[in-house]
Amino acid sequence: MELILSTLINGLSLGGIYAMIALGYTMVYGIAKMLNFAHGDIIMVGGYVIYVFMATKNPLLAVVMAVIFCVLLGIVIEKVAYKPLRGASPLAVLITAIGVSYLLQSLAQIIFGSANKMVTVYDFGSISFLGVTVQVSALVTLACTIVVMLALTLFVKCTRVGRAMIAVSEDKGAAQLMGINVNGIITITFAIGSALAALAGLFYLLKAPTISSTLGAMPGIKAFTAAVIGGIGSIPGAMLGGILLGMVECISYKITAIAPYTDAIEFSILIIILLVRPTGFLGKKRREKV
């Protein structure tokens, strides 16, 4: 019982982190129709910014700076690396994104060295509840991700810019002919995605207080997997896929016999789901016109 409850909480909180990162992938894919493989590395950059500003011993300042820095970085990457390739083949954009990813990792190594750095943002401690001991940071993460996801859903559903984002993802050309500045909408999308990635960086540091230049690589790929499982381009799909993957990961880690195969299990789930539902859970079926 205790095991189930603690696994549930840890799974939901890890799933929340994956969902936040997956949102960045899925929104950028939905609107700019590209896979931003550098997205995972924004998490790492956010982590390092927190590390730098923790010198001030002010966690709040560090987090705010991380979000601001990542938003600016996301916008710059989009303008410098992706915007000139608008209309180029998807493969060219994909390779550029991978290049940006390695660039960020290498820059981090040059600046901060290759050794892991310790950074304790804030020690929330742990609490016992119904005989279960859970890290408070897991609960904080869970609460934050829920708030962020609700806010994002409201933003997309109920605001002018959110509506324009959906219009652009539906039909970029028609949206532009209706007077929507498509480039502006893409910039906003990258800004939101990067802000979410910076927060994900914070939650990773709360979970395990070490940081290296490859911090974002694995979570990035996992979150991408989550986005695809949920149906890439779909915002609720990214949330669903993230939570699902986080739960699977935590459950698998708790079962000794299969714990070493956790990653393999997660990616196998992707393969199985894609075999059954090629568009993911909530992905749109695209009818081919004859």
Partner 1 sequence: MAENLILETRDLGISFGGLKAAQNVNIKIKKNQIYGLIGPNGAGKTTIFNLLTGVYKPTQGTFYLDGEELKGLAQDKINHKGIARTFQNIRLFNNMTVVRNVMVGLHDRPEFKCTVFETLFRLPRHFKVEKEMRAKAKELLRIFDLENDRNNLACNLPYGKQRKLEIARALATNPKLLLLDEPAAGMNPHETEDLVKTIRFIRDNFDMTILLIEHDMKFVQGLCDEVTVLNFGTVLAEGDTKTALSDPEVIKAYIGG
Interface with partner 1 (CB under 8 A)? 155, 158-161, 163-164, 166-167, 170-171, 173-182, 284
Q: Which residue's CB is nearer to partner 1, number 176 or number 210? A: 176
Beta bridge partners of 135: 126
Phi, psi of 103, deg, nearest 5: -60, -45
Residue corresponding to tokens 């652009």: 168
Q: Which residue's CB is nearer to partner 1, number 169 or number 225? A: 169
Q: Which residue's CB is nearer to partner 1, number 37 or number 82? A: 82
Question: Strand (E) positions, the chain?
Answer: 117-118, 126-129, 132-135, 210-211
Q: Which residue's CB is nearer to partner 1, number 97 or number 199? A: 199
Smallest gap from residue 26 Cβ to partner 1 (A): 15
CB within 8 Å of 101: residues ≥ 6 apart: 37, 38, 40, 41, 220
Q: Which residue's CB is nearer to partner 1, number 174 or number 218? A: 174
Cβ(139)–Cβ(76) below 8 Å: no
Distance CA 36, CA 26 (A): 9
Residue corresponding to tokens 């933003």: 155
DSSP line for 98-138: HHHHHHHHHHHHHHH-SS-EE-------EEEETTEEEEHHH
Q: Which residue's CB is nearer to partner 1, number 2 or number 171? A: 171
Closest CA to 226 of 247, 250, 205: 247
Smallest gap from residue 20 Cβ to partner 1 (A): 18
Smallest gap from residue 238 Cβ to partner 1 (A): 17
Smallest gap from residue 92 Cβ to partner 1 (A): 22
Q: Which residue's CB is nearer to partner 1, number 30 or number 47? A: 30
Smallest gap from residue 179 Cβ to partner 1 (A): 4
CB within 8 Å of 216: residues ≥ 6 apart: 40, 41, 42, 43, 44, 45, 47, 197, 201
Smallest gap from residue 137 Cβ to partner 1 (A): 27
Smallest gap from residue 88 Cβ to partner 1 (A): 18
